[in-house]
A = this chain, B = another copy of it.
Amino acid sequence: MSRLWNLTEFGFHADRVNHYETLFTVGNGYLGTRGSFEEGHPDSIAATLVNGVYDHADGMLVPELANFPNWIPFAITVDGTPFKVVTSTTDLMKPPEGVIFGYERTLDLKEGILRRAVLFRAASGNVVRVIFERFASLSDVHVMAQRVIITAVDGAPEIAIRAGVHGNSMNATALHWNDDVQVISTDEEIGIGATTRQSGYSMGVAARLTGPHPATASATGLILDLETRFSLEQEQTVTFDKLVGIFSSRDTDENPLDAARAKALRASEIGYDALRAAHVAEWAKYWDTADIVIEGDDECQLAIRFTTYHVLIASPRHDENVSVPAKTLSGFGYKGHVFWDTELFTLPLTTLTHPSIARNLLMYRYHRLEGARHKAKANGYEGAMYPWESTDTGEETTPQWSDVQPDGSRIRIWTGDNEQHISTDITYAIQQYWRFTGDDDFYTRYGAEIVLDTAVFWGSRAEEKNGRYELSQQIGPDEYHENIDNSVFVNRMVVWHLSTALNALSWLRAHAPADAARLTSQLDLTEARLAKWQDIIQRMYIPFDAEKGIHVQFPGFFDMEFIPVPKYQPRVTSVQAILSHARSIQTQVIKQADVVMLMALLGESVGAPGGADVKTVMRNNWDTYFPRCDHGSSLSPAMHAWVAARLGLLDEAYDQFHHAAHIDLADNKGNVRDGIHAAACGGVWQAVVFGFAGLHIADNGALALDARLPAHWRQISFSVNYRGEIKRFTVTNPR
């Protein structure tokens, strides 16, 4: 059913140019190319981002992914009129600027191909149909391919084309590339090579054009094109293919431009059709396990394929030294940095459906243990303390200050200092990966070291005071409340973390004694240290209100002003923005699932101090925190959906799920122009699998479900790779 796989834009939406550029990104885990027009557009933000190629430009607070040469330009003139999207004219028969009669753009999620068809009349009156197609090959990630089909629908026009690789926008956001750019411009090929200024990565992009008419090269600065002109008879069709190679010094020992040239040559020998067939076949393998089929809700069916697509194109397949940027490779938002969004939101999808990808992502963290150890040391702690924002180096790359505000001030950003739960989030992802894959090799060689060394950090971080252990100056998931003492999320997760670490060490001692010995020695896991962990587990302060039977987000939370968040509807703005930052931080408005997130991660094992009934407490927590949450973060709704489903609150669960699934499609945060919300995309998958389907590993070690589906969902199907075996699940709604 292609209609449930195709995201289509009918008609051109001038006010949505940047939104759709993001939605229509193509990618392959190695790179992402935004869905910009081949002919350009005044509002366009074109970008090709290659994962891992960060650069810290002069004058910027932090490094960012450097924009690559634009490989999609394909200009067409029809009888001298430049082809472009012009929607109205003074003269329909002889439109001075040309005019389009129709426009349709479709991202085929199943095949990972972006297509656009436009019917265009030139000033001459002649009418052509142009069909554009592009993909970033999933079967060879260094290949990008573009096809342009021009048909003379009415009249016999003179056509000129220019198929280019344009380097003029490479330094548009900041000065990342050195001036000594290598340029190749012959009638057979065009290419650009360059090196980043600070980080010293080099890259190369090269293109070849195939078609019925020989081309000649033209170069103006970094604007390189292959040009040709020809006449079309009425109803005649021509097809041109531009085949592009791309490399960076991160992934080849050769000169990247040479590698790119060789790849473009090889791609042109293979040809577009064969490249596309291989690409489509590769996509089929990924969808085989990653697809979730929802019967009874077409809208959410398409939406979840869209969100899964974006997780899949952002997840590296062949590289242990990159992760998933918070805005994927689809925009400049968050500068390509990596947050907890990966480990707790996007990574579980790959852990359960394509564990080799998840392993890469976890290895990214393993290879950056040194950065985490630097951070711990610099902050006066032991062990490994992961940075809140991470890039290639593994060092903390959270900016300390915001951009300049309208009143000239800058706001201090505390997350790099105090949002320390990231280390536990990574440990959570490692444990989840290990439990679902049974990958003892990974765990003993790499994973356990992270689990234990981050536990070492927490052991040194916990503060023994007031007759218990506390954690001051933390930021939990609810970032509206910064630098608070005793976040119940953080404190409880640290208890979980230390317990997990102790269990990990016991397991290693029993099953991998050499690794246990190595880590004990290397990480200085003395008996005294382990005893302290045990003591922290026993005596950590878990804020709880026994009278109300709720976990307390942090002591003092309920002393602040109450805001009736549900009355702030309808809105696309956060309640924080409505109240102002200064006021909202002194209110009970919560940015995102915090206590609710804790319940998602730990389920009933979250526990209830003092013998309270945990089910009752969980429901009380929901009733308390859900109406205080403004979902100012895109991470929030999916977690709420998951927990509401577990609590049997299916209407709320569905509302939250629908919201989460449409954050990018509906742009209901208003910032999709900056890139896809990766965490929301991954959260949507988890809301279905862990939330509605209730997937879990039962006590007997088998996968089990505890499904509670929204009333109108007839059936859902999904797959899980459980310890190397593909398990297929279909849940039919008894209602």
Contact = CB atoms under 8 A, between A and B. Distances in A.
A119 B298 contact: no
A102 B235 contact: no
A401 interface: no
A711 B3 CA distance: 12
A93 B405 CA distance: 14
A127 interface: yes
A524 interface: no
A172 interface: no
A129 B567 contact: yes
Contacts of A564: 153, 235
Interface string A398-430: 000000000000000000000000000000000
A101 interface: yes
Contact of A102 (B10, B298, B563, B569): B569
Given A93-B580, A129-B567, A573 B666 contact: no
Nearest to A129: B567
Contacts of A299: 3, 298-299
Contact of A104 (B117, B118, B570, B573): B570
A103 interface: yes
B1 A92 contact: no
Nearest to A578: B101
Interface in A567-611: 567-573, 577-580
A668 interface: yes
A270 to B, nearest CB: 30
B10 A567 contact: no
A41 interface: no
Interface in A1-58: 1, 3, 10-11, 15
Interface residues of A, number: 41
Contacts of A3: 299, 712
A373 interface: no
A151 interface: yes
A154 interface: yes
A535 interface: no
B127 A578 contact: yes
Contact of A117 (B92, B569, B572, B580): B569
A288 interface: no
A162 interface: no
A297 interface: yes
Contacts of A104: 570
Contact of A712 (B1, B153, B571, B668): B1
B102 A567 contact: no
Contacts of A297: 298
B153 A567 contact: yes
A327 interface: no
B571 A101 contact: yes
A371 B151 CA distance: 52
Given A93-B580, A151-B567, A298-B299, A573 B101 contact: yes
A573 B102 contact: yes
A134 interface: no
Contacts of A567: 129, 151, 153, 235
Interface string A106-142: 0000000000011101000001010000000000000
B568 A153 contact: yes
Contacts of A577: 92
A298 B151 CA distance: 35
Given A92-B578, A117-B569, A153-B564, 13 more contacts: A3-B299, A102-B571, A102-B572, A102-B573, A117-B570, A118-B570, A119-B568, A119-B570, A119-B571, A153-B567, A235-B564, A297-B298, A298-B298
Interface of A: 1, 3, 10-11, 15, 92-93, 101-104, 117-119, 121, 127, 129, 151, 153-154, 235, 297-299, 563-564, 567-573, 577-580, 666, 668, 711-712
10 contacts: A3-B712, A92-B577, A93-B580, A101-B573, A101-B578, A104-B570, A119-B569, A297-B298, A298-B298, A298-B299
7 nearest A-B pairs in the assembled complex, by CB-CB distance = A102-B571, A102-B570, A101-B571, A104-B570, A298-B298, A101-B573, A153-B567
